[in-house]
Structure 1
């Protein structure tokens, strides 16, 4: 009986704002299922990436071949060099009892329909995970099946997982025929909630360099401002700061934070409404970054408009009060439990003095 890959073999597209955890979701939900490292291939699409890069192409190579006298000599030959798609397909067929995975990062940063070409026909799957329709490609067939006439299909042990930044939708658009062959899964941009793991909780609570404001409060306040301010364009949600847009190292260094986060807000998210966020826009981005890095006291107070900074302070105060209340309630519950235990000591078992 064939192995059951029904709940593994699929085409999945994780999408969300930059830094929301798309690659992390790929790792946790799919990569951990692939125990054999050879059964995993990762590729990154970009504007210059082509069908030949993805599938493979004929390339000139020097090979030793016998001449008319039977002696070996080096001659220029043209051979098909497989790309990532053909390599993982070959591995999947050779290891049909194991789960195999093709990961495509930044799917829409390349012209995905053109990169896939006729392969997109294979993305229609049967219930068992295999391709519903076959294509004919002599180079792939010869590489995988050693038979140029053999039809090509995705096997039921091969999953294709891709990621896409919603803020990059204008790079390359994907038509409906291409998109419908993917299971779309939105990755929410969560800074709070019971579903957060300890790593994310600690990251969100981390304070910005030389500031009393935490990363979580900063990002949530900026995102709220981004959505409510009239910035002159739609789709502001796609510009939101993801929970991991800034790393722990970025939050430990004022220069790194300014060059990564403040520059993004200036150049992209608030490009058409800088006065909504920045205190002084007259001298350009370099002046903002210098003011942030050289500020005495909290640098955010120096570069952000008072309304935004004050909202961050208010949010920090509310969180501190809530934490204090929670701690007090917990202490009261523990004291009540101790008091109840003293008033009702455990009864000794019968027969014991």
Structure 2
């Protein structure tokens, strides 16, 4: 958590721009984007957050429609402060002071500790009006090759927090990285213009259900069977996504509505009610809103009937609510995934046997003993 106590103006040493060097620690503005559940936040934790071991050197915020520039940078707020009155008696009085927002707090930390890497994480960047939230800080996002801002800005409150001086220019230092995430499928959110986006290093997070790059946790998650079903989550999601892309659903950009590999958690896949309310409801209300008959076998009674049929099914609940053709495709996908898994296991065994054979043919030389 960031320190939102009023800034006193005396708790940070003077810093010159040249002091902010952070050798071999070049910072950047990085924006990870992809479909919901593809692993953006996991990527942030694994590649960035886990490498900052000091808690005060990293701050995480979440943008939303009501989030403002003042929330992000800081604002004047009423605080109770102990002061001496004319008679020399100390008493608490209400005063207005600048309270640091997360941006100013992490910037202050980065300036105070130039040899330490600092990290600002912004989740759901486009769920707030990002250009308005950044305001003039937008200018700082242009960086030189050394990671410092190319241009400076003037902001009295931030300047007082950094230097205890009101008119010194401000730049992002080379030890402050900003990492943001963005869902490409969010509809009722703010758009970001090209000028804003180009100041970020964009990184697409692929939505992978198969492949050698998957870790063991993802492999197990993909292979997990849906509640009371013979169909795995991986087979279900891949066929649904495939249907989403090939069916005429009345809108473009269907990839953005795809089910991410972690759209449903392990707990969602263990409970029929949770799965129905989270996944089936999303497919009905959003992804297949204009083409429900492409996926659901009975659309006449509405979503509640679909969920009840799924939860009350005697056999495989997917068979009770999905179009037979779609269900059959999921069964075929299960067979394909099983064959692929067997092939991968066979190749791995062959590689291990080859390695063992090579080791036997070229035994390690034992050091000669003393005579």
TM-score (norm. length: structure 1): 0.91
Shift of 1:148: 1.1
1:3 to 22, 26, 34: 22
Shift of 1:267: 0.8
Shift of 1:151: 1.2
Is residue 90 of structure 2 the alignment partner of residue 72 of structure 1? yes
Is residue 105 of structure 2 the alignment partner of residue 87 of structure 1? yes
Is residue 276 of structure 2 the alignment partner of residue 262 of structure 1? no
In the other structure, the counterpart of 2:236 is 218
3-state SS of 2:126 partner: helix
In the other structure, the counterpart of 2:5 is none
Shift of 1:76: 1.5
2: distance between equivalents of 1:296 and 1:240? 29
3-state SS of 1:155 partner: coil
In the other structure, the counterpart of 2:300 is 282
Asked if the contact 2:22–2:117 (Cα under 8 Å) also holds between the matched residues in 1, the reply is no
Shift of 1:275: 0.8
In the other structure, the counterpart of 1:349 is none
Is residue 225 of structure 2 the alignment partner of residue 207 of structure 1? yes
Asked if the contact 1:6–1:127 (Cα under 8 Å) also holds between the matched residues in 2, the reply is no
Is residue 214 of structure 2 the alignment partner of residue 186 of structure 1? no
Asked if the contact 2:23–2:115 (Cα under 8 Å) also holds between the matched residues in 1, the reply is no
TM-score (norm. length: structure 2): 0.87
1:159 to 165, 171, 177: 177
Is residue 54 of structure 2 the alignment partner of residue 54 of structure 1? no
In the other structure, the counterpart of 2:11 is none
In the other structure, the counterpart of 1:243 is 261
Name which of structure 1's ranges 11-20 and 29-38 shifts more when overlaid on structure 2. 29-38
2: distance between equivalents of 1:313 and 1:23? 31
Is residue 272 of structure 2 the alignment partner of residue 272 of structure 1? no
1:35 to 39, 44, 53: 53
3-state SS of 2:64 partner: coil
Shift of 1:220: 0.3
Which consecutive residues of structure 2, in runs of 5 or more, have no partner in the other structure? Answer: 1-18, 364-371
In the other structure, the counterpart of 1:310 is 328
Seen in structure 2, the aligned counterparts of structure 1 residues 329 and 54 have a Cα distance that, compared at 3 Å, is closer
- Tell me how large the CA RMSD over aligned residues is: 2.6
Is residue 153 of structure 2 the alignment partner of residue 138 of structure 1? no
Asked if the contact 1:15–1:166 (Cα under 8 Å) also holds between the matched residues in 2, the reply is yes
Q: Residues 256-298 of structure 1: CA distance to partner in whole angstroms, max 9, x if unpaired?
A: 1111100110111011111111111111111111110110110
Shift of 1:32: 2.1
3-state SS of 2:50 partner: helix
1:111 to 129, 133, 140: 129
Seen in structure 2, the aligned counterparts of structure 1 residues 286 and 146 have a Cα distance that, compared at 3 Å, is same
Shift of 1:61: 1.1
Shift of 1:213: 0.4
3-state SS of 2:261 partner: coil
Shift of 1:320: 3.1
3-state SS of 2:37 partner: coil
3-state SS of 2:331 partner: helix
Seen in structure 2, the aligned counterparts of structure 1 residues 337 and 178 have a Cα distance that, compared at 3 Å, is closer
2: distance between equivalents of 1:330 and 1:157? 42
Which consecutive residues of structure 1, in runs of 5 or more, have no partner in the other structure? Answer: 347-353
3-state SS of 2:185 partner: helix
3-state SS of 1:167 partner: coil
Seen in structure 2, the aligned counterparts of structure 1 residues 335 and 138 have a Cα distance that, compared at 3 Å, is closer
2: distance between equivalents of 1:174 and 1:336? 53
Q: Residues 54-105 of structure 1: CA distance to partner in whole angstroms, max 9, x if unpaired?
A: 0010001121211122222222100001100011001111111100000000
Shift of 1:316: 1.3
2: distance between equivalents of 1:321 and 1:64? 73
Q: Residues 99-118 of structure 1: CA distance to partner in whole angstroms, max 9, x if unpaired?
A: 00000000000000000000
